Amino acid sequence: MTSKKITRALISVFYKDNLEPIIHLLAKHNVEFVSTGGTQEFIEKLGYAVTPVEKLTTYPSIFGGRVKTLHPAVFGGILFRREDAGDLKQAAEFNINPIDLVIVDLYPFEETVAKGGSEEDIIEKIDIGGISLIRAAAKNFKDVLIVSSRTQYAAVLELLTRKNAATELSDRKLFAAMAFDTTSHYDTAIFSYFNREAQIPSFKSSLQQGQVLRYGENPHQKGVYFGNLESLFSKLNGKELSYNNLVDVDAAVNLVQEFEGEKAFVIIKHTNACGVAIGQSVKEAYLKAFQADTISAFGGVLACNAPVDVAAAEEINKLFFEILIAPDFEPAALELLKSKKNRIILKQNHRLTNSKQFKSLLNGVIEQDVDFKTDSKQDLKVVTKVAPSASEVNALLFASKVCKHTKSNTIILAVDGQMLASGVGQTSRVDALKQAIEKAGAFGFKLEGAVMASDAFFPFPDCVDIAHQNGIKAVIQPGGSIKDQDSIDFCDQHGMSMVFTGFRHFKH
């Protein structure tokens, strides 16, 4: 028979929120309760009799609570096979009674780590008995229902209400799968904590929240987002985010947070910036960013690092765009921007804090540290006879920030606080520069006095030569080519300044 009536339940949980309705339902169906410690007290306060685990094991909770349920009387009741003659004989011989339902959650290990707990506190939050009970009950899903997380309370309450405290094999197998999801995630969190020091070259990542997307990068591809997007953003308007939306949002948020302490606005198209600027107001920053490429901005992803006011919203609202991200919105500005029902408006709740990046590659996964390095004045090494002016230094550092977040090979042309044009994703740095120059001209920018940023070194002086021909006066690059001196000499011969940062910012 696949349908099994629950007659005996082992319940031992850290979190007791929303547990009470389940207890009442089980009691209504005359289910016997077995429990420990605080959960036992909780059930008894509801007016129901409880068999203490200690009565089954004949041992008290020992070693500060580290050992409570690890005993054949408990695990035997969960694991013995109800249709196996040998198991039934041994259960009778050792007076082991069946346990049909296990409700257990795990000590809050991740929460303790996140709160900065001491090592002693963290280690004590490594659950032993609980995770063993979950695995045992999940393994014997043919006979036992396992509830492994408080997030499952509503589902199990609905199930047991509908089926009068009975379950089908398919129900138990589903909850077993969720149980192994719980245990594997928990073990991954513990490993990650220990591996901060151990640095074992083993890749493990676990994200339990998944959102099925309409499709992947293209309509014929399936797509899923794993992660708690709601903790990062509050969606104030618009349709659901697509795969491509999420990729562009990631690019926009990573770029705009480079400009901490300044009012910055970025416009992203296919992960590359088609407009970036800073200003005294959000409106000014937006208009300067939009000016860089008024064509590509159409249907773009917009991000700002300051609250959007009405003045800015009135300008932004003139543009057809997919998404706008900001830390906040004035009420009147939000109402104006919500005039288009499909327009996605996201309030960003906190900065991105991921320290690692990874992606599938070939027959494995490749991982690296996030590029947290932002070039600063302290990094600049003037390698030419002419040094850049204070205004040029500001423009160079601004361009470098944009360059870092643009697909290689890339060239960024800028003035202080405004990107004029970009050449992105080119197989040649010369082609990237020519693309940027052409774009700048197409949108009415004169490059006399502008600066140039490159994500990597110049192997030849051709780029500084082309830059000089178009009026560019200052250059920022990592340096590191065996032919650096050729570019330096050209700059010296033509009155240009150039600085090295010592840091390459490839982006593929």
CA 53/CA 31 separation, integer angstroms: 16
Q: What's 103's DSSP letter?
A: E
Beta bridge partners of 326: 347
Asked whether the beta carbons of 440 and 456 are under 8 A apart, the reply is no
Instruction: Report helix, strand or coil for 363.
Output: coil
Amino acid symbol at 302: L
Scored b (16 or more CB within 10 A) or e, 178-200 reads bbeebbebbeebbeebeeeeeee
Asked whether the beta carbons of 101 and 10 are under 8 A apart, the reply is yes
Q: What's 241's DSSP letter?
A: P
374 closest CA partner among 220, 258, 254:
258
Beta bridge partners of 167: 4
Question: Terminus-to-terminus CA distance in the chain, angstroms?
Answer: 56
Burial of 341 from C-beta contacts in 10 A (0-12 / 13-18 / 19+):
exposed
Burial of 92 from C-beta contacts in 10 A (0-12 / 13-18 / 19+):
exposed
Q: Verify whether residue 270 is a known catalytic residue.
A: yes
Runs of H (alpha helix) within 274-339: 282-291, 310-316, 331-337
Q: Verify whether residue 139 is a known catalytic residue.
A: yes
Tokens matching residue 463: 């780029």
Strand-by-strand arrangement of the 497-500 sheet: 233-237, 344-348, 321-326, 300-304, 263-269, 272-279, 418-423, 411-415, 451-454, 474-477, 497-500, 381-382
Among 5, 16, 71, 139, which one carries the catalytic annotation? Answer: 139
Asked whether the beta carbons of 175 and 141 are under 8 A apart, the reply is yes
Burial of 51 from C-beta contacts in 10 A (0-12 / 13-18 / 19+):
middle
413 closest CA partner among 364, 334, 471, 371:
471
CA 97/CA 100 separation, integer angstroms: 10
Among 16, 185, 270, 434, which one carries the catalytic annotation? Answer: 270
Tokens matching residue 369: 């540290």
Q: What residues act catalytically?
A: 139, 270
